[in-house]
Amino acid sequence: MSIEVGQKLPSASLQEGNPGNQVDPAQAFGSGKHVVFAVPGAFTPGCDKTHLPGYIADFQQIKDKGVDSIACVAVNDVFVMDAWGKAHDAAGKVRMLADPNAEFTKAVGLDVNAKALGGTRSKRYAMIVEDGVVTALQVEPDGFGLSCSLAPSLIESL
């Protein structure tokens, strides 16, 4: 069962920049207003050409709606997520958070068996988190599409 609007984000161990830099989403998004979106895989076509670039392009518009931070989560290793962020100049706009063991993804119940990508991955979604509580959640109906989880759709919910 997936996380629902009104529920608190669970604690988990995400990584940012290097394996030693652990990020607990419950703490990182426990105060203020945040956008968290997830993709099935870094550098995969829809994620690389549409999803991440959209949040980077709409960064200022999202910030202007009172959002403190934007984060991208993927079931990839931290080095891949760091390289992907650098490839798109995400620094200062979108935090690139690796979930190498799908710990957070499973804790929020948004994991999917994506055999074409090597196994367990995240469904594509976007959520708004205010003071640690999910206030909006938009999950792609098939888990992989590019519609309701994209930046323009999320902006409508802010």
What pLDDT digit, counting tens, does each position of 16-59 carry? 999 999 999 999 999 999 999 999 999 988 889 999 999 999 99
Residue 69: band (very low, low, confident or very high) from pLDDT cuts 50, 70, 90: very high
Residue 11: band (very low, low, confident or very high) from pLDDT cuts 50, 70, 90: very high
Q: Establish if 38 belongs to a structural domain.
A: yes
pLDDT value at residue 63: 97
Overall number of domains in the chain? 1
For residue 49, give both structure tokens.
């050409």
Region 148-154: mean pLDDT is 95
3-state secondary structure at position 27:
helix
CA quadruple 28, 12, 118, 136: dihedral positive or negative?
negative
Report the C-alpha gap between 105 and 59 in whole angstroms. Answer: 24
pLDDT value at residue 44: 86
Q: Establish if 142 belongs to a structural domain.
A: no
What pLDDT digit, counting tens, does each position of 76-130 carry? 999 999 999 999 999 999 999 999 999 999 999 999 988 776 779 999 999 999 9
Report the C-alpha gap between 37 and 90 in whole angstroms. Answer: 14
User: For the chain, how many helices (H) and strands (E)?
Assistant: 7, 9
Q: Establish if 107 belongs to a structural domain.
A: yes
Q: Establish if 120 belongs to a structural domain.
A: yes
Residue 150: band (very low, low, confident or very high) from pLDDT cuts 50, 70, 90: very high
pLDDT value at residue 35: 98
Domain that holds residue 68: 14-129
Q: Report the catalytic residues.
A: 47
Q: Establish if 138 belongs to a structural domain.
A: no
Does the pLDDT of residue 64 top 80, yes or no? Answer: yes
Q: Establish if 152 belongs to a structural domain.
A: no
Residue 98 sits in a domain of what CATH number? Answer: 3.40.30.10
pLDDT value at residue 62: 98
Q: Which of 41, 53, 47 is nearest to 146 (CA)?
A: 47
What pLDDT digit, counting tens, does each position of 114-127 carry? 877 677 999 999 99
The sheet that has 133-139: what strands, in order across it? 18-23, 14-16, 94-98, 69-74, 33-39, 125-130, 133-139
Q: Establish if 34 belongs to a structural domain.
A: yes
Q: Establish if 71 belongs to a structural domain.
A: yes
